[in-house]
Amino acid sequence: MTDLKTLNSQFGIANHLLFETDPGGLTLVKIDNDFASASIALQGGHVMTWTPHNAEAVIWLSPAAKLAPGKSIRGGVPICWPWFGPHESQTDFPAHGFARTTPWDVVSTTQRDDGATQLVLKLATANFPAQQWPHPTTVQYVVTVGDTLEIELVSQNTGPGAITLGEALHTYFNVSDVREISVDGLDGCHYLDKVDDFTQKQQSGPVTFSSEVDRVYVNTSTDCIIRDPAMSRQIRIAKSGSNSTVVWNPWIEKANKMGDLGDNGYLKMVCVESANADENVVTLQPGEQHTLSVRYSVEQI
C-alpha cells in the first residue's frame, strides 16, 4: 500500500483532492470542488459519500459502518464484482465478489476544466484471490465528482478464454423515510422476488416500501427515479451497460440482524443497484471490454 505522503505528492490536487487515513486504518480520498464533496476508500474503490453543495447527502453511509481492512463498508457504492450475490457454486466465496474488500490502486486524478474532479482506480490483478478468480482480467473504475456523480466500471478479458461476469454498483441512496418514497422506472419489468423464494413476478407501477424488498429486475436498461416528496427532490439514476436493476431495503428484522445499519437506519436508505445479474450476466470473449456506467443527479420537485 502506497503511503499517504507519496499518494498526496503524486496524485493530490491542491484545494480539491487529498488522501487521508481513517481511524479504522483505511486510506480515503477526500474530494471537494465548486459542486460537491465526496469521499472514496481505496479499499474496494468504495465511494462512501457524495454531497452536492447546498443539498443533503445523496449517497447514504451507515452511521454504524465499520471501516476496517478486509471488511465491506455498509452504505456508499459497494462494487459487486466479478459476481453478484452468493457465488454460483462456492459457498465459502464472499457474497458479491471480492472487489469491494480488496485494495484498489490509484491510476490518475484530474481537476477538469468544467470544475469536476476525476479519480481513476484499478484493481491490480496481483490483488485477485487467484483461487476465486483465476482468469486474467483488468478492471478500472472512473469516478467523476461534480453536480452529478458519474461512475464507470470497466472490465476487460485479457486471457485466452471467455469469462462471465456478474456485477453491480450496489448504491445506497439517502432518503427522508423509505415508507414515504417511491422508485419509478420499473413498471412492467419482470423481477425475481428474493423475499418470495426467487419467484418471477412483474412490476406494476412504482416500487413502494412497507416491508423487506429484495428484487432483481431483469432485462431493463431504463433510468430509475427515487421520488422523495418530504425532501422536495428526486434522484435520477441513469445507466448504460446494465440490463438488471436491483431494489433492496432490509426492513426492520433483517436490519437488526445485520448490526451495521444504525438505529432505524433502514428507514433512511434505499438501494437501487445498476447491475448485470442472473440472466443478464456478461460474457466477454478474449480481448473484449465491457463498461457498466451510472450517472446520479438530483432534481427539485
Binding site for ligand TA6 (CB under 6 A): 72, 85, 95-96, 170, 194, 214, 246, 248, 271, 273
Q: Please tell me whether residue 280 adopts helix, strand or coil conformation.
A: helix
Least distance CB 103 / ligand TA6 (angstroms): 18
- Is the CB of 16 or the CB of 74 nearer to ligand TA6? 74
Q: Which value, to the nearest 10 degrees, does the dihedral of the CA atoms of residues 50, 51, 53, 56 take?
A: 160
Site of grid cell 416491508: 211
Determine how many CB atoms are found less than 10 A away from the CB of residue 170.
Answer: 22
- Is the CB of 152 or the CB of 214 nearer to ligand TA6? 214
Q: Which value, to the nearest 10 degrees, does the dihedral of the CA atoms of residues 89, 90, 94, 99 take?
A: -70
Least distance CB 9 / ligand TA6 (angstroms): 35
**C-alpha to C-alpha distance for 144 and 78, rounded to whole angstroms:** 16
Q: Which of 170, 253, 288, 290 is catalytic?
A: 170
Q: Which of 273, 288, 290, 299 is catalytic?
A: 273
- Is the CB of 167 or the CB of 273 nearer to ligand TA6? 273
Least distance CB 193 / ligand TA6 (angstroms): 11
Cβ-proximal residue to ligand TA6, closest one: 248
**C-alpha to C-alpha distance for 43 and 105, rounded to whole angstroms:** 9
Length of the chain: 301
Least distance CB 202 / ligand TA6 (angstroms): 20
- Is the CB of 16 or the CB of 239 nearer to ligand TA6? 239
Told to judge if 96 belongs to the known catalytic residues of this protein, a careful annotator would answer: no
Least distance CB 134 / ligand TA6 (angstroms): 23
Query: Is the Cβ–Cβ distance between 48 and 42 less than 8 Å?
Result: no
Site of grid cell 434505499: 270
- Is the CB of 69 or the CB of 229 nearer to ligand TA6? 69
Told to judge if 253 belongs to the known catalytic residues of this protein, a careful annotator would answer: no
**C-alpha to C-alpha distance for 286 and 56, rounded to whole angstroms:** 44
- Is the CB of 122 or the CB of 194 nearer to ligand TA6? 194
Least distance CB 260 / ligand TA6 (angstroms): 9
Query: Is the Cβ–Cβ distance between 280 and 239 less than 8 Å?
Result: no
- In DSSP notation, 21-89 reads E-TTS-EEEEEE-SSEEEEEETBTTEEEEEEETTS--SB-B-TT----TT---SBSB-EE-S-SSS-SS
**Residues annotated as part of the active site:** 170, 273
